[in-house]
Structure 1
Amino acid sequence: MPQTTNDQHAEEQQLPDPRERRAGGGVVPVLAFAGITVAVMQTLLVPVIKDLPALLHTDPSNATWVMTATLLAGAVATPIMGRLGDLHGKRRMLLASLAVMVIGSLVCAFTEELVVMIAGRALQGFAMGAIPLGIGIMRDELPREKLGSAMALMSSSIGVGGGLALPGAALVAQHADWHTLFFGAAGLGVLSMALTVLVVPETSLRAPGRFDLPGALGLSLGLVCLLLPITKGSDWGWTSGTTLGLIAASLLILALWGLFELRSPAPLVDLRTSARREVLLTNLASVMVGVAFYAVSLVLPQLLQLPTSTGYGLGQSMVVAGLCVAPLGLTMMFVAPLYARLSARRGPKVSLMLGLLVIAIGYGAGLGLMSAAWQTVVIAVVLGAGIGLAYSSLPALIIGAVDPSETGAANGLNTLMRSIGTSVSSAVIGMVLANTSVRMGPVSVPSMEGFRTSFMIATGAVAIGLVVAAFLPSQRDATRPVLLASSADEAAPVREASHAAAGSGGFHGRVLDADGTPVARANVTLIDRTGRQAGLTVTDEAGRYALTAPSSGSSFVLAGSATGYAPRACPAAYPASGLPVEIDLVLTVSAPERRTAVSS
Structure 2
Amino acid sequence: MADTAATAPRPAVVVTVLSSVGLVASLCMTLVVPLVPRLPQLLGTSTATASWVITATLLAGAVATPIAGRLGDMVGKRRVLVATLGLLVAGSVLCAVTSDLLPVLVGRALQGVAVSAVPLGISLMRDTLPPERLGSGIALMSATLGIGGGLGLPLAAIIVEIADWHALFWVAGGLGLVGLLLVAAVIPESATRSGGRFDAGGAVGLSIGLIGLLLAVSKGAEWGWTSAATLSSAAVAVVALVAWGLYELRVRDPLVDLRLNARRAVLLPNLISIPVGVAMFTGMVVFPQLLSAPLASGHGLGMSLLAAGLTLAPNGLVMMAMSPVTARVSAAFGPRTSLRLGLVIIAVAYGAGTVLLSAAWQVSVVIAVIGAGVALAYGALPALIMRAVPTTRTAAANGLNTLMRSIGTSSASALAAVVLSASTVPVEGTLVPSLGALRTTLIIAAGCAVLALLVSLAVPSLPEPTEEVEEFGHDAEHATQAGDGEPALVRGVVRHDHGGPAAGARVTLVGVDGRQLAITHTDPEGAFAADAGTHRPGLLVAGLAGSRPAAVHVVPGQDLAHPLVLPAADERETAVAGVPEPTRARC
Aligned pairs for 1:348-497 (under 5 A) are 348-474=335-461, 476-477=462-463, 479=464, 482=467, 491-495=484-488
Q: In structure 2, do the counterparts of structure 1 residues 354 and 131 end up closer, same or farther at CA, with 3 Å as the change threshold?
A: same
Deviation string 1:474-499 (CA, Å, 9 cap, x unpaired) is 2x33x26659xxxxx9944355889x
Q: Match for 2:304 among 317, 322, 326?
A: 317
C-alpha distance in 2, partners of 1:416/1:480?
25
User: 1:330 is matched with which residue?
Assistant: 317
Q: Is residue 8 of structure 2 the alignment partner of residue 22 of structure 1?
A: yes
Contact 1:76–1:223 (8 Å) recurs in 2: yes
Letter in 2 for 1:269: V
Letter in 2 for 1:549: V
C-alpha distance in 2, partners of 1:21/1:539?
33
C-alpha distance in 2, partners of 1:95/1:114?
27
Cα shift at 1:293: 0.7
C-alpha distance in 2, partners of 1:535/1:91?
29
User: 1:554 is matched with which residue?
Assistant: 549
Q: Is residue 168 of structure 2 the alignment partner of residue 165 of structure 1?
A: no
Could you say what secondary structure the match of 1:167 adopts?
A: helix
State how many pairs are aligned. Answer: 526
TM, length-normalised to structure 2: 0.83
Deviation string 1:94-140 (CA, Å, 9 cap, x unpaired) is 00111011111111111111122111111111001101100110111
Letter in 1 for 2:10: G
Aligned pairs for 1:150-299 (under 5 A) are 150-299=137-286
Letter in 1 for 2:541: A
Which is helix-richer, 1 or 2? 1
Q: In structure 2, do the counterparts of structure 1 residues 77 and 557 end up closer, same or farther at CA, with 3 Å as the change threshold?
A: same
Letter in 1 for 2:429: P
User: 1:44 is matched with which residue?
Assistant: 31
Could you tell me the percent identity over the aligned residues?
A: 47
Letter in 2 for 1:551: G
Letter in 1 for 2:238: L
Could you say what secondary structure the match of 1:438 adopts?
A: strand
Q: Is residue 508 of structure 2 the alignment partner of residue 505 of structure 1?
A: yes
C-alpha distance in 1, partners of 2:38/2:61?
24
Contact 2:120–2:395 (8 Å) recurs in 1: yes
Q: In structure 2, do the counterparts of structure 1 residues 212 and 51 end up closer, same or farther at CA, with 3 Å as the change threshold?
A: same
Contact 1:77–1:129 (8 Å) recurs in 2: yes
Contact 1:344–1:480 (8 Å) recurs in 2: no
Cα shift at 1:316: 1.8
C-alpha distance in 1, partners of 2:510/2:242?
39
- Structure 1: segments with no counterpart, 5+ residues: 1-14, 484-488, 499-503, 511-531, 584-600
TM, length-normalised to structure 1: 0.82
User: 2:516 is matched with which residue?
Assistant: none
C-alpha distance in 2, partners of 1:330/1:540?
42
Could you say what secondary structure the match of 1:549 adopts?
A: strand
Letter in 1 for 2:312: V
Cα shift at 1:328: 0.6
User: 1:345 is matched with which residue?
Assistant: 332
Contact 1:23–1:141 (8 Å) recurs in 2: no
Letter in 2 for 1:341: R
Deviation string 1:151-198 (CA, Å, 9 cap, x unpaired) is 000000122223223212101111210000000000000000011011
Contact 2:509–2:541 (8 Å) recurs in 1: yes
Q: In structure 2, do the counterparts of structure 1 residues 21 and 425 end up closer, same or farther at CA, with 3 Å as the change threshold?
A: same
Q: In structure 2, do the counterparts of structure 1 residues 453 and 414 end up closer, same or farther at CA, with 3 Å as the change threshold?
A: same
Q: In structure 2, do the counterparts of structure 1 residues 165 and 469 end up closer, same or farther at CA, with 3 Å as the change threshold?
A: same
C-alpha distance in 2, partners of 1:481/1:496?
7
- Name the stretch that deviates more: 358-367 or 160-169: 160-169
Q: In structure 2, do the counterparts of structure 1 residues 496 and 105 end up closer, same or farther at CA, with 3 Å as the change threshold?
A: closer
Cα shift at 1:67: 0.2
Q: Is residue 90 of structure 2 the alignment partner of residue 95 of structure 1?
A: no
Letter in 2 for 1:554: P
Contact 1:208–1:533 (8 Å) recurs in 2: no
Cα shift at 1:350: 1.1
- Name the stretch that deviates more: 65-74 or 21-30: 21-30
C-alpha distance in 2, partners of 1:341/1:261?
38
C-alpha distance in 1, partners of 2:432/2:483?
56
Contact 1:369–1:375 (8 Å) recurs in 2: yes
Cα shift at 1:561: 12
Alpha-carbon RMSD: 3.2
C-alpha distance in 2, partners of 1:497/1:193?
35
User: 1:595 is matched with which residue?
Assistant: none
Contact 2:488–2:557 (8 Å) recurs in 1: no
Contact 1:284–1:417 (8 Å) recurs in 2: yes
Q: Is residue 332 of structure 2 the alignment partner of residue 306 of structure 1?
A: no
User: 1:594 is matched with which residue?
Assistant: none
- Name the stretch that deviates more: 82-91 or 170-179: 170-179
Contact 1:360–1:462 (8 Å) recurs in 2: yes
Contact 2:276–2:448 (8 Å) recurs in 1: yes
